């Protein structure tokens, strides 16, 4: 059912005032304000995988970490995360996790120091990362991407809800583990659960775009980066892959899907 047009809101509010007591009416107005004119942005996390995923959330320097940094998301489930204006951070999916009643345990991929709630701890690579730097209500231009710079563990996408022309979808929709070169494979129980980036595997400035290679003129994509880009053209394959990987949009809501439909 669609929302009533804004031209009808005055009449609707008068009707509601007649039906409810003053206290209840004020509460209802506050609820409608939050629903129709929400402060900040919303991230809708959807688990389309056939198994559970444990999303990890990490706010950038000086930014809050929603949901205490991590939680369980069963197959087919979704959760809405409200983030404030100008929020910056990253989200990733953890797989093969097991935690005790105190929220301590481990994950096969994306582990954050063995904690269910990462609480400021980043995910161990390899892990497919969703990164974003959001604007504000007065300057609502949001930047976001999916990055394979820290390697790959599961397919993921970030898509705006509305936003107008020019809003792109950041994604790596294919299971890179299937075609991961043997030198980059990460296995658990004989199964490939992750694929390292060249930086993670080689641990050198040339592959990590650091030191003398910390600029796009000297740091070029490796053979492995070309492979990642061919399979996932909408994701960062190496540090300076901005032109075809960084998206921007004015939408206030975004859907982040683990194992998005192809």
| Contact (Cβ atoms closer than 8 angstroms) between residue 134 and residue 91 | no
Set out the domains of the chain in order of their start, with CATH numbers. 1-37 (no CATH), 39-258 (2.60.110.10)
pLDDT at res. 166: 82
Distances (CA, A) of 105 to 71, 84, 116: 13, 30, 7
Tokens of 251: 């939408």
| Contact (Cβ atoms closer than 8 angstroms) between residue 255 and residue 159 | yes
Model confidence over 82-133: pLDDT tens digits? Answer: 999 999 999 999 999 999 999 999 999 999 999 999 999 999 999 999 999 9
103: left (phi over 0), alpha (psi -120 to 50) or beta: left
pLDDT at res. 19: 52
Strands (E), the chain: 41-47, 54-59, 78-83, 88-94, 98-99, 105-106, 129-133, 142-147, 156-160, 170-172, 185-188, 191-195, 247-249, 253-258
| Contact (Cβ atoms closer than 8 angstroms) between residue 128 and residue 172 | yes
Half-sphere exposure of 113 (CA within 13 A, CB side): 7
Mean pLDDT of 186-212: 94
Exposure string of 26-42, with b = 16+ CB inside 10 Å and e = fewer, is eeeeeeeeeeeeeeebe
Q: How confident is the model at residue 38 (pLDDT cuts 50, 70, 90)?
A: low
pLDDT at res. 179: 93
CB atoms within 10 A of CB 106: 14
pLDDT of residue 36 exceeding 70, the answer is: no
CB atoms within 10 A of CB 226: 13
| Contact (Cβ atoms closer than 8 angstroms) between residue 126 and residue 185 | no
Q: Is the pTM of this model over 0.85?
A: no
Based on DSSP, count helices (H) and strands (E) in the chain, helices before strands: 5, 14
Tokens of 118: 């990462």
| Nearest residue to 87 via CA among 56, 61, 110 | 61
- Across the chain, mean pLDDT equals 88
Query: Percent of the chain scored above 70 by pLDDT?
Result: 85
Model confidence over 9-23: pLDDT tens digits? Answer: 445 445 444 555 544
Between 91 and 24, the more confident residue is: 91
Mean pLDDT of 150-166: 93
130: helix, strand or coil: strand
pLDDT at res. 57: 98
């Amino acid at each position: 059912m669609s929302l009533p047009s804004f031209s009808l809101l005055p009449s609707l509010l008068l009707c509601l005032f007649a039906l409810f007591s003053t206290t209840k009416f004020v509460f209802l107005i506050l609820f409608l304000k939050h629903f129709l004119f929400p402060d900040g942005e919303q991230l809708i996390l959807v688990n389309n995988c056939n198994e559970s995923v444990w999303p990890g959330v990490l706010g950038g320097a000086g930014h809050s970490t929603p949901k205490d940094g991590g939680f369980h998301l069963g197959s087919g489930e979704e959760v809405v995360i409200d983030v404030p204006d100008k929020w910056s951070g990253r989200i990733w999916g953890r797989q093969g996790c097991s935690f005790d009643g105190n929220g301590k345990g481990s994950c096969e991929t994306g582990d954050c120091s063995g904690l269910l709630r990462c609480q400021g701890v980043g995910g161990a690579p390899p892990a497919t990362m969703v990164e974003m730097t959001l604007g504000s209500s007065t300057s609502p231009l949001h930047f976001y991407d999916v990055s394979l710079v820290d390697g790959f563990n599961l397919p993921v996408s970030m898509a705006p809800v509305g936003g107008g022309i020019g809003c792109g979808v950041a994604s790596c929709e294919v299971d890179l583990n299937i075609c991961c070169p043997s030198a980059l494979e990460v296995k658990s129980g004989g199964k490939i659960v992750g694929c390292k980036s060249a930086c993670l595997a080689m641990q050198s400035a040339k592959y990590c775009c650091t030191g003398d290679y910390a600029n796009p003129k000297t740091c070029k994509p490796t053979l492995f980066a070309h492979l990642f880009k061919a399979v996932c053209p909408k994701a960062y394959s190496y540090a300076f892959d901005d032109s075809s990987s960084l998206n921007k949009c004015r939408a206030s809501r975004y859907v982040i899907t683990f194992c998005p439909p192809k």
